[in-house]
Structure 1
Amino acid sequence: MSETLPIHLPGAAMDDPNAPGRKEDHIELAFDSQADRDGLDERFDYEPLLAAHPLPGSYGTMDWGGKELRAPLWVSSMTGGTEKALVINHNLARAAGEFGLGMGLGSCRSLLYDDHRFDDFNVRPLAGDGVPIYANLGAAQVQRLLEDGDSVLIPQLIDSLQLDGLIIHVNPLQEWLQPEGDRFTAPPLESIREVVRLFPELAVIVKEVGQGMGPASLKELLRLPILALDTAANGGTNFSKLELFRSDALARMAYAGLTRVGHSAEGMVRQINALVAENPDEVRCAKVIISGGVRTFLDGYHLTSLSSLPAIYGQASALLRHAREDYGSLQRYVATQVRGLELAKAYLRPRL
């Protein structure tokens, strides 16, 4: 009986110094890697045969008000007017510029009459000219500017920061629950319509602040010539709930139920789709930002694929967590989100 000789193939384990350790890891980790059959993500079909591994930057681009997004991810409005806000906003702006993301600033109300915190919001030099960045004012403040004849302060604010447009956040429940909150004396829709009328060239985005909007409100926004509506759905940061934490015990008990009122991101996307299909000739709103409980790139990929209008997705708390101190941490997080989107597009087919 002849002796069996060892087989040595180029590229086999003998040529890979890491192979023994990797194989040991596989053996040990196999027991911890058993999949739960009840935990399958039913939103996608996984198609492993149809694409090569995606190259960086392969997701594709989208026009956003004349500027280019290199990834369908929006830095949702967060903060301004505090010491911490400067670090946060500057880190976020650097990431927006590096990865080609859009960005909404936190409320710019403090800059209307006082430039003391101007540097918190002056992020254009960090992001560069190529990405869209938007100012942000509350509907109550917009109403006040219109009533006082100070609407010219809106374009002045945008020009001073070299921004691309305005986000109007609509937050009646937050204002009601905020100890020092404003009171609406007119429906927010009236103020939005007047801004659009006064400044027809201004790119406007309208959003809620963590509870979403119902079909009647969505229908009215879809009829307006605005750049986008932002779902800001219930499921992410809920500013009504945030304000309750700042209130006394009686208010927390009395109004707690209001924090559970609202609409999910997926529910709103499906409602928008139905409204668009019902009256396509009435739709003048161009795009959708899907935010509120969008925690991962898989959530974002699924929801943007579901939308019949061109859509991107927004995140706030996930980005905030990494932006507070260390840009390197934020940079790594955004890179994983963008590469994850590219991987999802290559191998996952959304079940719509």
Structure 2
Amino acid sequence: MGADRKLDHIKLAFQSQMNGIAADERFFYEPMLSGHPSDKPEEIPFAGKKLKAPVWVSSMTGGTQLANTINHNLARACGEFGLGMGLGSCRKLLDDDTYFSDFDVRADIGEEQPLYTNLGIAQVEELLDNGQTDKIERLISRLRADGLIVHINPMQEWLQPEGNLIQHPPIETVKRLLEQVEFPVIVKEVGQGFGPESLLRLLKLPLAAVDFGAFGGTNFARIELERNSELNRELYEPFVRVGMSAEQMLNSVNQMVDGGEEIKCRQLIISGGIQNFLDGYYLTGKSKLPAIYAQASAFLKYSQGEYAVLRDYVDAQLKGLRIAKAFLRINENHSE
């Protein structure tokens, strides 16, 4: 076996040259400072519950047979590995149970892991204006969820051919919601992130978390633009190139913390353009507030078929994250 391994090394040495490949300057590689880590899970507080790894499965979808498979696979993985999960938009469940089974995943994720339902700011605004916050409470109760994610998507709604126009500034709607309900609330963007003023206004509220939904990942405004007329696609395309990256948003938050701003929300979910565990490790490690990282499209890719495929992906990602924590130190002077 040893001879075979050495022969492999000889054959692969020429294919493994790093000429022309830049080093990842976000990290210092420190091979002297740790042994290989065990698989012992972490205990990370999150809104009254505990995660076993700093990973969140971002809100996706429901309403088709494939979405049913995706959601139940993802919830099962979150239960097995101790992750948190946000459901896709549950708007259709407010008045119709046709797709309830797509979202009914508490039995898969278990009671210990955080599970949040999800509504858009336009729907929350409408329910508040009509005095119907009881519908949100019933939705959370029926799904046995821990709270609500409010996704902030005015650009998506405006570009969506059948979108809903928002009447009030979303920050005012979120404030009204917090005044009327007792369940935890997370606020997230949908692919363009929050600018510094929006971030600061959100962090001053008693939210369970702010989810970046930064520029660099799936952009729902762009999705809706692709569904638009040819003329509108040409005219409005510049809008989908506007946004804040996850690192830009994190730098803004860190400056707020350093500047002594009064911050009531003490939990970040860093999402948007997180391609792998090194991205997540780097950004959460730089955060001056407690932070976990989230992915959507990567989980989506592996969750559409047999559960074993998704399980292998999650297991490998978490092993990589543990190795990163053992041997990599974050270069605090690096910036994008």
Give the C-alpha shift of residue 66 in structure 1.
1.4
Match status 1:78 vs 2:54:
no
Match status 1:26 vs 2:5:
no
Match status 1:308 vs 2:291:
no
Give the C-alpha shift of residue 37 in structure 1.
5.9
Structure-1 separation of matches of 2:236 and 2:252:
27
Match of 1:182 in 2: 164
Structure-2 separation of matches of 1:325 and 1:344:
29
- 2:132 maps to a residue whose letter is D
Give the C-alpha shift of residue 82 in structure 1.
2.1
Structure-2 separation of matches of 1:277 and 1:138:
32
Give the C-alpha shift of residue 51 in structure 1.
0.8
| SS of 2:275 mapped into structure 1 | coil
Match of 1:241 in 2: 222
Match of 1:13 in 2: none
Match status 1:113 vs 2:117:
no
- 1:250 maps to a residue whose letter is L
Give the C-alpha shift of residue 72 in structure 1.
0.4
Structure-2 separation of matches of 1:253 and 1:246:
12
Match of 1:66 in 2: 48
Structure-2 separation of matches of 1:273 and 1:210:
21
Could you say what the CA RMSD is over the residues aligned between the two structures, in angstroms?
Answer: 1.0
Structure-1 separation of matches of 2:309 and 2:65:
20
- 1:19 maps to a residue whose letter is G
Give the C-alpha shift of residue 149 in structure 1.
1.2
Match of 1:323 in 2: 303
Q: How does 1:89-104 map to 2 (within 5 A)?
A: 89-104=71-86
Structure-2 separation of matches of 1:252 and 1:24:
55
Match of 2:232 in 1: 251
Gaps of 5+ in 2: none
More displaced stretch, 68-77 vs 80-89: 80-89
More displaced stretch, 78-87 vs 114-123: 78-87
Give the C-alpha shift of residue 278 in structure 1.
1.5
Q: 2:152 aligns with which of 170, 181, 187?
A: 170
Q: How does 1:1-352 map to 2 (within 5 A)?
A: 18-36=1-19, 38-58=21-41, 60-199=42-181, 201-280=182-261, 282-352=262-332
| SS of 1:313 mapped into structure 2 | strand
Structure-2 separation of matches of 1:83 and 1:216:
40
Structure-1 separation of matches of 2:175 and 2:64:
31
CA deviation profile, 1:129-155 (whole Å, cap 9, x unmatched):
110000000000000001111111111
Structure-1 separation of matches of 2:81 and 2:55:
9
More displaced stretch, 28-37 vs 173-182: 28-37
Structure-2 separation of matches of 1:274 and 1:325:
43
* Percent of pairs with identical residues: 53
For these two proteins, the number of residue pairs brought into alignment is 332
- 2:205 maps to a residue whose letter is L
Provide TM-score, normalisation by structure 1. 0.93
**Structure 1 runs, 4 residues or longer, greater than 4 Å off:** none
CA deviation profile, 1:178-204 (whole Å, cap 9, x unmatched):
1100000111111100111111x3111
Structure-1 separation of matches of 2:66 and 2:316:
25
Structure-2 separation of matches of 1:27 and 1:256:
51
| SS of 2:108 mapped into structure 1 | helix
CA deviation profile, 1:317-342 (whole Å, cap 9, x unmatched):
00000001121111111111111111
Give the C-alpha shift of residue 36 in structure 1.
3.4
Structure-2 separation of matches of 1:175 and 1:328:
36
- 2:59 maps to a residue whose letter is S
Structure-1 separation of matches of 2:20 and 2:237:
37
- In terms of Rg, which structure is larger? 1
Provide TM-score, normalisation by structure 2. 0.97
| SS of 1:312 mapped into structure 2 | strand
Structure-1 separation of matches of 2:253 and 2:33:
32
Structure-2 separation of matches of 1:202 and 1:226:
10
- 1:33 maps to a residue whose letter is S
| SS of 1:173 mapped into structure 2 | helix
Structure-2 separation of matches of 1:40 and 1:147:
53
| SS of 1:224 mapped into structure 2 | coil
- 2:127 maps to a residue whose letter is L
More displaced stretch, 77-86 vs 103-112: 77-86
| SS of 1:152 mapped into structure 2 | helix
